[in-house]
Chains A and B, each alone.
Chain A
Amino acid sequence: MIHLEKVSKNFQPNVNALSDITLHIDAGEFVSIVGQSGSGKTTIVRLLISEIQPDAGEVEVGGWNITKIKKVQVPLLRRQIGVVFQDFKLLPKKTVFENVAFALQVSGAPRARIQQVVPQVLNIVDLSDKLHRYPQELSGGERQRVAIARALIHRPKVLLADEPTGNLDALNTKDIIELLLKINEFGTTVVMVTHNKEIVNSLKRRVITLDRGLMAGDQRVGKYVI
């Protein structure tokens, strides 16, 4: 599903964000990518959504070779990958419904389908009573659930979560992780970038550890070791 082959990325001369990373993630896996700040975790997410290009190596996601992708194909790729960010990245002037619907509207989905699917997805994340609220009227946990609903609306094969609980309290963190596990149970590959030791240890799933841009560990049932 996801394959990185000898990927390197430098943002400044002599500062390696990623060095010679090779990893493979199968369909249906739940993988945590862990490491300290500056270890290159977010760089991997940015590479996977084609926000940046690697300096060396190849990146493949769901059949797309990102190193060879054309600019016009980038929106198509992003519609097939769900992404959840630490800062939610919701459109502030759109309601909960409109934020989720927007992800469908960009792909030209008909109005009738949007009216049918968006409430269903918002029901999954337990926000069906807040369809017409604006993001600033929601709690952090609710905003992150909107972001997850938006990421799920295309029924993506891969869900990338970049520090999804970074801005949340313990209770909301638990809710979000349970939601991600539920999504994974339905067959979606989940890649979660985090530095939350408690979560990673409690999950008992695959853990990829990065340290200063290098691969420091890859355990099938891993723990946060750094």
Chain B
Amino acid sequence: MFLHALSRGIIFALQSFWRNVWLSIATIFVIFLTLVSVNFLIAVNVIADSAINVVKERIDVSIYLKPDIQESKIAELKTRLESDSQVKNVVYRSPADNLADFKAKHVNDEKIKETLDSLNGNPMGATLIIKAKNLKDYPVILRTLEDPILNEIIEEKNYDDNQLVIDRINLIASNIKRVILAISIIFIIISILIVFNTVRIAIFTHQNEIAIMKLVGASNWFIRFPFVFESILAGLFACILAMFFIYPLLSFTQGYIGGFFGGADFNIISYFNANFFLIWGAQLLGIIVINAISSSIALSKYLKV
């Protein structure tokens, strides 16, 4: 009996969807535009996030060690740093590497060249380049290096130079996140209101039909289900349409976006593909829930006959 009524409701919904095709198209189009806006916001969010991450990735702290330190002690320090949960990785650069770098950097400076030649051996020590998992972890990591025993082997730390940059990046990143969150909330509220009103208007045009259905003895459920199903259907079509619109748009803009990242590995389409079910599933579920609730609320006004 229930399945019978359910299948009848689905048939009524499909019939109504087709027979009120212009109303259906208008409803789908408004939901489609809302979804495009939501996806645009997602893309902006992802781009901003990735841009911040690219900058963060380029920040590290170098520890310059004294030239006469034994390799075993350096290896011991490296292992100690790597075991720290806040450290992402530690790269070792030998004194020879540092000297080669220095020479390459000052290849045209004769005075430096002469000074280096007059010295007996390599005056440079090894370097450990530390990358933290999080920007905020650098001060903590460096605090561990304040150990007096370590001071005997560390010549210099360049963290102070980076401190200002890190603080600024942290501030910008948190501000951007706050702005995006505020925009997202406003966008979501506007989207819900738009969809709610679109569904309400669509049902308003059916108010006489609803009254007639009530007068011939239809139960509230029997009237409600086809309308709710129809609005879910509109949401589904709008979602599919948005998908077919967003991907070519992302593909078109990828070339421009890629340029901003200066060779860093970022692809907005890959992000959308990797999070396909999360992005589209959430949107589909959201639109279905909003449509179902909107149509139920809009209908209840006309079901009192």
Contacts and interface: CB of A to CB of B under 8 A. Distances in A.
Interface residues of B, number: 20
A216 interface: no
B136 to A, nearest CB: 60
Interface in B4-21: 4-5, 8, 15-16, 19-20
Contacts of A108: 1, 4-5
B216 A150 contact: yes
Contacts of B4: 108, 110
B218 interface: yes
A3 B155 CA distance: 107
Interface in A52-106: 72, 75-79, 83, 89-94, 102-103, 105-106
Contacts of A90: 212
A37 interface: no
Interface SS of B by simple majority: helix
* Residue in B8, B214, B215, B217 whose Cβ sees the most chain A Cβ within 10 Å: B217
A196 interface: no
Interface residues of A, number: 24
Given A93-B19, A93-B209, A106 B215 contact: no
Contacts of A51: 215, 305
Nearest to B218: A106
B241 interface: no
Contacts of B92: none
A49 interface: yes
Contact of A102 (B5, B20, B216, B305): B216
A152 B133 CA distance: 77
A107 interface: yes
Contact of B215 (A89, A110, A154): A89
Interface string A106-125: 11101000000000000000
Chain A to chain B: the 7 pairs with minimum beta-carbon distance, closest first: A79-B217, A78-B217, A106-B218, A93-B19, A75-B217, A75-B219, A103-B216
Interface of A: 49, 51, 72, 75-79, 83, 89-94, 102-103, 105-108, 110, 150, 154
